[in-house]
Structure 1
Amino acid sequence: MSTPANTKFSVAQAEANTKRGGDIRVTLSPKTVGCTSGFGGVLRLAPGEYISEHLHPYSEEFLHVVAGELEMSLEGEPVRLAPGDSLLVRIGVRHRLVNVGLTAAEVVFHLSPLAPRPELGHVDTEAPVDAGAANPDVGDHR
């Protein structure tokens, strides 16, 4: 794969991935800008919407809440999140994110390091919200 010369990538260019819920848009990844250490982007959740439970066997996930009221379950234990809060999800920890507020929520996320192969990046521990969605695998950003 050749490395893209442009390292800027807009959320408007990113494909929406709704497989696990919400609207996940990967903006910085090996596929979009040729980075080699991780990937990141933005997540939007409508009130009541959630990201189904999963884990990352090789990566830590860093989240920063921009807008909205959220609850992240880490191994079943709830953690409330509000605008300005940041959260680290450690490698191998089951997690599920729910918008518990009355307005849309927006989160910026980054995962690092990359899994050895893209298909190993995520392990679903709950059936995906849209198992039949024609979306690229969330872990496949190369």
Structure 2
Amino acid sequence: MADTRPSVISRAEVPPNRRRGGDIRVLLSPRTVASTSGFMGSLTLAPGEYVTEHYHPYSEEYLYVVEGRLTITIEGNAVEVGPDQAVLVPINARHRAENRGTRTVRAVFHLGPLAPRPELGHVDTEDLANPGERQFVVGDRG
């Protein structure tokens, strides 16, 4: 019988992943709560920050903006997503997330289904300009 006790993970418990830009934290995943169909986390982007372009060969990505305005470019088409709005990134669609505004963006993401192995789930198509440093979108003067 499966363990049905709730697993609660606090954002503060998870260190930020900044390898692709911004502050990405995977909260609910096979590693943290033994999920079997997908994973979920938070994205925080300060003004001018971005997440480099990538795609997911096995998963759809659902993004829900809690605060701020997120510009997401999917297969070359940019769309702005504001508070209480969501966007779907289809499987294999190249996408990039940017904060072109003046307020911090806070968003929630979910990806599913899972890739057969974690290393197959994410394909980078853009390198982070200066890993470890704050990343700025083109035209940002900050």
Q: State TM-score, norm by structure 1.
A: 0.86
Structure 1 residue 4: Cα displacement: 10
Cα RMSD over matched residues?
Answer: 1.9
Q: Are the counterparts in 2 of residues 20 and 130 from structure 1 also a CA contact under 8 Å?
A: no
Query: What do residues 52-79 of structure 1 show as CA deviations (whole Å, max 9, x unaligned)?
Result: 0000000000000000111100011111
Q: SS at the partner of 2:52? A: strand
Q: State TM-score, norm by structure 2.
A: 0.86
Cα 1:130–1:16 change in 2 (3 A) is farther
Query: What do residues 11-70 of structure 1 show as CA deviations (whole Å, max 9, x unaligned)?
Result: 111121000000001110011111111001100000010000000000000000000111
1:99 aligns with 2:88: no
Counterpart in 1 of 2:70?
Answer: 70
Counterpart in 2 of 1:83?
Answer: 83
* Larger Rg over CA atoms: 2
Q: Are the counterparts in 2 of residues 4 and 34 from structure 1 also a CA contact under 8 Å?
A: no
Counterpart in 2 of 1:31?
Answer: 31
Structure 1 residue 128: Cα displacement: 3.0
Counterpart in 1 of 2:41?
Answer: 41
Task: Identify unmatched segments of 5+ residues in structure 2.
Answer: 134-142
Moved over 6 A (4+): none
Identity among equivalent pairs (%): 54
- Does 3-12 or 110-119 show the bigger shift? 3-12
Q: SS at the partner of 1:127? A: coil
Q: SS at the partner of 2:91? A: coil
Which amino acid letter does the alignment assign opposite residue 98 of structure 1? E
In structure 2, how many angstroms separate the alpha carbons of the residues matched to 1:48 and 1:130? Answer: 14
In structure 1, how many angstroms separate the alpha carbons of the residues matched to 2:105 and 2:10? Answer: 19
Q: SS at the partner of 2:119? A: helix
Which amino acid letter does the alignment assign opposite residue 87 of structure 1? V
Structure 1 residue 131: Cα displacement: 5.0
Query: What do residues 72-101 of structure 1 show as CA deviations (whole Å, max 9, x unaligned)?
Result: 000111111111110000000000000011
Task: Identify unmatched segments of 5+ residues in structure 1.
Answer: 134-142
Corresponding residue pairs, total? 131
